[in-house]
Structure 1
Amino acid sequence: MPGLTIGDTLPDLEVETTHGSFKLHDFVGNDWAIIFSHPADFTPVCTTELGKMALYEKEFNERGVKLLGVSCDDIQSHKDWIKDIEAYTPGCKVKYPIVADPKKDIIKQLNMVDPDAKDPDGSEVPSRALHVVAPDKKIKLSILYPATTGRNMEEVLRVVDSLQKTAKYKVATPVNWKPGEPVVISPSVSNDEANVMFPQGYTTVDLPSGKEYLRFTNI
């Protein structure tokens, strides 16, 4: 994914949103944030996504994660569309702000431009992109979907849990990991260090190579 990606600092852009204007770094503050774009207001997949994101907002907030949507439509369009979103997804309330970007400057700087799609005028349109931003204002994860494929909110929640756990401990999460399951100890941690860092103990998998690099622990 060219442009802004993992490891880069989030540009401190001034944005206009359904909750007023602010700078992105001020929005993130000392928390985590998910910044996600959608191709357009009043479109089917996006309507389902933003409603589901609203339903999951409580779980994200419990993890110290803020939500910020991005679209090239204007503020009034967003506000009108929110009524449809809330009507389609019973029980949801869109409390998170949605950025307006009618000039399409913000999506370019956030690397949220669809590489293939164009609007009827031939102009660039937003991709279905998502950045997870840490308190240090750096991008920790980026996911890009085509306009035809809606996101899986359980997966977004799962990767946030993984990012926060691996930021706190010298571990990684294995394939299909879910919260509560064992994690693997980083290869950079020696066995002696692991004994100190993980007093609860760990299990080393016996592999044909004889190398002790696959070590599981519960934290």
Structure 2
Amino acid sequence: MSLRINSEAPNFTAETTEGPIDFHDWIGNGWAILFSHPKDFTPVCTTELGYMARLKPEFDKRNTRIIGLSVDPVTNHAKWAEDIAETQGTAPNFPMIGDTDLKVSKLYNMLPEEIDGGSDGRTAADNATVRTVFIIGPDKRIKLMMSYPMTTGRNFDEILRVLDSIQLTAKHRVATPVNWQRGEDVIIAGSVSDEEAKGLYPDGWNAPRPYLRIVPQPH
């Protein structure tokens, strides 16, 4: 099944560094970020996991749980965590899925279904497409999918920015403009008529074009 934005995030059970999980149960009533890695002890991913660990308090504030995935066994993840702590200053403080049978990678369209076997003998290059970030909402639907090449480290500050936008627009009938940052002006959604907008924004709005109605960020 092809996954798109607003597709239901496929549920699965898996072993993690913090014990077995049922993914939907683990998400609960909050938000979640699933981000994947092609193999343990890879240099770019080492830097990413350390940075995500430092950024975790910001995601906690936004009622968002973080979970990583690598195709290698959970026992390898624990050894890798020592390297991450030593080189990046912070060990992963969130669960890491061990996807040795490639089940989750296939379920989330990161590897072709027809691949046989498990993670044994597979190199990082074999799993190069297992570098995707998913933001998943409380409704268990995918809100964002972003894939990166192996040689380019991910920008998790951007993931945090997008999460702020998604959470804001889920609560209010607005959209966020290019490069928007939390606290900046937003755009009244196109689905809101001018009559409705007068009730929502009695102080009015700035409209350089009829379809571009700008207001302060609601709270």
TM-score, length-scaled by structure 1: 0.90
SS of residue paired to 1:51: helix
For 2:23, the aligned partner's letter is L
| Structure 1 residue ranges without an equivalent (≥5) | none
Asked whether the 8 Å contact 1:48–1:85 carries over to 2, the reply is yes
Percent same amino acid among aligned pairs?
44
Question: How far apart are residue 5 of structure 1 and its match?
Answer: 2.4
In structure 1, the partner of 2:212 is: 214
In structure 2, the partner of 1:9 is: 8
Asked whether the 8 Å contact 2:38–2:127 carries over to 1, the reply is no
In structure 1, the partner of 2:117 is: none
Please give the alpha-carbon distance, in whole angstroms, between the structure 2 residues aligned to 1:131 and 1:122: 21
SS of residue paired to 1:199: coil
In structure 1, the partner of 2:116 is: none
Please give the alpha-carbon distance, in whole angstroms, between the structure 2 residues aligned to 1:120 and 1:82: 19
Are 1:52 and 2:51 counterparts?
Answer: yes
In structure 2, the partner of 1:110 is: 108
SS of residue paired to 1:137: coil
In structure 2, the partner of 1:173 is: 176
Give the alignment partner of residue 133 of structure 2, picking from 130, 133, 155. 130
Spell out the pairing of 1:75-94 with structure 2 (5 A cutoff): 75-90=74-89, 92-94=90-92
In structure 1, the partner of 2:205 is: 202
Question: CA offsets, 1:167-212, max 9 Å, x none?
Answer: 011111111111111010111111110111223532111x4xxxx1
Asked whether the 8 Å contact 2:38–2:124 carries over to 1, the reply is no
Question: How far apart are residue 95 of structure 1 and its match?
Answer: 1.4
**What is the total number of aligned residue pairs between the two structures?**
210
For 2:158, the aligned partner's letter is E
| Closer/same/farther in 2, CA of residues 176 and 143 from structure 1, 3 Å limit | same
For 2:59, the aligned partner's letter is F
| Closer/same/farther in 2, CA of residues 122 and 64 from structure 1, 3 Å limit | closer
SS of residue paired to 1:82: helix
Question: How far apart are residue 106 of structure 1 and its match?
Answer: 1.1
Please give the alpha-carbon distance, in whole angstroms, between the structure 2 residues aligned to 1:156 and 1:146: 16
Please give the alpha-carbon distance, in whole angstroms, between the structure 1 residues aligned to 2:104 and 2:91: 25
Asked whether the 8 Å contact 1:78–1:98 carries over to 2, the reply is yes
> Considering only aligned residues, what root-mean-square deviation do their CA atoms show, in Å?
2.1
SS of residue paired to 1:68: strand
Please give the alpha-carbon distance, in whole angstroms, between the structure 2 residues aligned to 1:189 and 1:123: 47
Structure 1 runs (4+) deviating above 6 angstroms are none
